[in-house]
Amino acid sequence: MKKVITYGTFDLLHEGHYRLLERAKALGDYLIVGVTSEAYDKARGKLNVIDSLATRIENVRKTGFADEIIVEESHGQKVQDVKKYKIDIFTVGSDWTGTFDYMKDYCQVVYLERTKNISSTMLRVQNKRIQRIGIIGTGRIAERFVPEAKLVSGITTQGCYNPHVESAKRFAERWEIEAYEDIESFYGAMDAVYIASPHETHYAYIKSALEHGKHVLCEKPMVLKAAQAEELFRYARAHELILFEGIKTAYCPGFNKLLGVACSGIIGSIRNVEVCFTKLENPDNRELTDRKYGGSLTELGSYVMLPILKLFGENYEEIRFDVIRGENGLDLFTKISASYANGIATATCGLGVKSEGRLLIAGTKGYMIAEAPWWKTSYFEVHYENPLEVEKYSERFLGEGLRYEISDFLSMINGRNSSEFKLTRSESVALADIMEKFLKAEGRAEK
């Protein structure tokens, strides 16, 4: 008798899961399915699992393919199970290709092709919404999205679009999703879109996605003009759509903990915020060659201005930009100074000058410090007058951290607004306004 084993969360059981189980069963005579426990999903960083373990087991049972169902409780259990149940074949979807090659020492390993398109009919049968998301723009940023979205339950990356069809096809092949050549059929297959195209194309893509009734998660900087941000938010709200600016720091748990502590009064009244983020960029990349929209501020300004807007608000009295420019006129290093009625702030960003990336928040009773990479906050300290008195805080930050914003975006689509405060619409407008002021000061504003 040939024994097969497979594992999964099987949350909101859908067509992809069903087809996987069907083919897994066909590989042998007896199929064991390991369903992940809640604690294990938490440990491996899977977010937003909706169904309880009991429901997920019941849904797998109802498919009729499993001869036996077990619970997967920890990392490392797979090898033990293979030995314990005398398994011949371990199988899992091809989105995991390579990951489980280590199992080849114990049994045969088969990666079954992932189901690319989850049809809306199947979703209706389940009577639960799984959001189908499509990616616009298939460059470097988009590469990080697919593996992170896979760790958010209730959302499936369905396809991608890029006017450069070859780039879209390469991307789609790599991630086993569908490449769409025509934007209308792309929109037709999606509930939501993730925009990861060059900055200056965001506005037009957001507008057309909203006009097609799609929710939008857009990479920072969402747009480069305050009026455009206002117009798009107004349209989204009027049509009950979510428009969400993807600044990953705003949604990561550590950064939110840091803001909470900063505002708790333990460092007194906050008077100064100094923040820096530099990333030496390849001089041939778009960031340092696009003379109109490139440079350090459009690239990194959203990150460095975020803690300042969160802690001091949007009503600065004055804002100033000091810039070191490269030969082509683009800002290699930019310092933004903002003054407020009760505080001062400096935000530094750079693509061609390296500095120490840190976030420092100074108050009347003490200060807080988060070292690089503070924009993926996992650790920070609180200091006081007595240098020996230091409080240390840490928080988990998993992978690239995009899963947190994806999970919050999904919650908002599903009608839960409890994450809205993490980056408000008016903060997004204020960020667009800063980009606009800067481009104007640099003589790069659009006519």
Site residues (vs ligand C2G, CB under 6 A): 7-11, 16-17, 20, 36, 72, 92-93, 95-96, 114-115, 118, 156
Which residues sit opposite 340 in a β-bridge?
343
| Closer residue to ligand C2G in complex, CB, 117/208 | 117
Query: In whole angstroms, how large is the CA radius of gyration of the chain?
Result: 24
Q: How far is the CB of 99 from ligand C2G (least distance, A)?
A: 7
| Closer residue to ligand C2G in complex, CB, 151/344 | 151
Angle at 77 between CA 31 and CA 103, to 5 degrees: 70
Q: How far is the CB of 403 from ligand C2G (least distance, A)?
A: 12
DSSP 73: -
| Closer residue to ligand C2G in complex, CB, 118/304 | 118
How far is the C-alpha of 75 from the C-alpha of 17, rounded, in Å?
A: 21
Q: How far is the CB of 284 from ligand C2G (least distance, A)?
A: 37
Task: Output the six-digit token pair for 256.
Answer: 């939110």
| Closer residue to ligand C2G in complex, CB, 89/323 | 89
Q: How far is the CB of 376 from ligand C2G (least distance, A)?
A: 23
Q: How far is the CB of 72 from ligand C2G (least distance, A)?
A: 5
Q: How far is the CB of 178 from ligand C2G (least distance, A)?
A: 11
How far is the C-alpha of 14 from the C-alpha of 18, rounded, in Å?
A: 6
| Closer residue to ligand C2G in complex, CB, 71/266 | 71
Q: How far is the CB of 193 from ligand C2G (least distance, A)?
A: 18
Q: In 150-276, which residue ranges form alpha helices assigned H by DSSP?
A: 165-175, 183-188, 202-211, 226-238, 248-251, 253-262
| Closer residue to ligand C2G in complex, CB, 30/235 | 30
Q: In 247-345, which residue ranges form alpha helices assigned H by DSSP?
A: 248-251, 253-262, 286-289, 296-312
Amino acid at residue number 26: A
How far is the C-alpha of 137 from the C-alpha of 135, rounded, in Å?
A: 6
| Closer residue to ligand C2G in complex, CB, 105/317 | 105
| Residue 82 buriedness (CB in 10 A; 0-12 / 13-18 / 19+) | buried
DSSP 47: B
Q: How far is the CB of 12 from ligand C2G (least distance, A)?
A: 9
| Closer residue to ligand C2G in complex, CB, 95/281 | 95
Angle at 379 between CA 376 and CA 383, to 5 degrees: 130
Q: How far is the CB of 375 from ligand C2G (least distance, A)?
A: 27
Helices (H) and strands (E) in the chain, counts: 16, 19
DSSP 292: T
3-state helix, strand, coil in the chain (%, to 5): 40, 25, 35
| Closer residue to ligand C2G in complex, CB, 7/438 | 7
* E strand or H helix that includes residue 45: none
Main-chain dihedrals φ then ψ at residue 27, nearest 5 degrees: -75, -20
Q: How far is the CB of 138 from ligand C2G (least distance, A)?
A: 19
Task: Indicate the pairing of strand 379-383 with strand 367-371.
Answer: antiparallel
How far is the C-alpha of 408 from the C-alpha of 356, rounded, in Å?
A: 30
| Closer residue to ligand C2G in complex, CB, 95/245 | 95
